[in-house]
């Protein structure tokens, strides 16, 4: 037997989230089904979970399979035959037996994508249509989240996490023509954390939330804002080991 690391992308609009679903509509279900066509039946393990509608550019999973799959390029092509069109394996790497796809992660990186042009139904599942805003001011507000904080007021629920404290390594914001991207890197994220943070920044820009109120919410003094931006603009962009 050998252990493999899969690096892959997926269109989150085609699934009900990345985790297994009762009706087999999760990304994990789709990838597991593709592997079963090749006779690989051991569970596929994901490094990170995403909610319904959230996409991934470089998600990571691990599988165990027989040694005769050692031609990894051919294995990648065979998996993609059954995983397409909504899941695409980009790379396959052989890893040591003690590799833990989730617990060896050092950082996770997400992007949130805005589109400032006219509405286009062909882009609707992949960007958040939103009017142009002051990107320098947005970055000032976003910088409040840098560092180590207890993000319990910026999460849907604590879930199975032992703690709601996370360390935000960096946050960037940049614009190219009609597209603005917020980039987040942290040692981990709570459920819907990024969508809540982005929504709160937009609320400050719009005058619906005061910056001082945002600071108080981050300091757990009060909870003022609980709305989410749509999931379709959010991408798991990178997992760092």
Specify binding-site residues for substrate.
Answer: 110
Beta strand residue intervals within the chain, DSSP E: 2-10, 45-46, 55-65, 87-95, 107-115, 128-129, 147-150, 165-176, 179-186, 234-240
Q: Strand 55-65 vs strand 234-240: parallel, antiparallel, or unpaired?
A: parallel
The alpha carbon of residue 221 and the mean position of all alpha carbons in its chain are separated, in whole angstroms, by: 28
The SS3 of residue 142 is: helix
Residue 51 falls in the annotated catalytic set = yes
Question: In the structure encoding, which two tokens stand for residue 25, read together?
Answer: 């509509």
**CA dist., res. 62 & res. 47, Å (int):** 8
Quick check: helix, strand or coil at residue 95?
A: strand
- Can you tell me the distance from the alpha carbon of 57 to that of 75, in angstroms, rounded to the nearest whole number? 20
DSSP secondary structure of 48-66: ----TT-EEEEEEEEEEE-
Residues 6 or more apart whose Cβ sits within 8 Å of residue 180: 113, 114, 116, 132, 133, 135, 173, 174
Of the residues 51, 67, 71, 118, only one is catalytic, namely 51
Detail the residues annotated as belonging to a binding site: 110
Q: Active-site residues: which are they?
A: 51
């Amino acid at each position: 037997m050998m252990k493999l690391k899969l690096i892959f992308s997926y269109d989150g609009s085609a699934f009900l989230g990345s985790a297994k679903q009762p009706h087999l509509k999760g990304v994990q279900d789709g990838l597991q089904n593709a592997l079963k066509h090749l006779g690989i039946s051991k569970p596929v393990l994901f490094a990170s979970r995403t909610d319904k509608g959230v996409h991934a550019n470089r998600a990571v999973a691990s599988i165990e399979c027989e040694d005769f799959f050692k031609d990894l390029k051919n294995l990648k092509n065979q998996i993609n035959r059954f995983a397409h069109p909504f899941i695409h394996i980009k790379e396959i790497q052989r890893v040591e037996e003690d590799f833990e796809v989730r617990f060896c992660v050092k950082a996770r990186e997400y992007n949130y994508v805005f589109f400032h042009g006219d509405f286009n139904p062909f882009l609707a599942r992949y960007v958040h249509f939103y009017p142009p805003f002051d990107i320098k001011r947005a970055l000032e507000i976003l910088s409040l989240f840098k560092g180590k904080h207890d993000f319990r007021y910026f999460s849907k629920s604590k879930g199975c996490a032992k703690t709601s404290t996370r360390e935000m390594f960096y946050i960037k914001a940049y614009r190219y023509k009609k597209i603005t991207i917020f980039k987040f890197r942290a040692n981990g994220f709570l459920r819907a954390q990024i969508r809540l943070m982005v929504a709160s920044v937009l609320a400050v820009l719009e005058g619906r939330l005061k910056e001082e109120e945002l600071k108080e919410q981050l300091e757990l003094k009060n909870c003022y804002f609980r709305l989410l931006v749509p999931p379709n603009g959010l991408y798991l962009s990178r997992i760092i080991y």
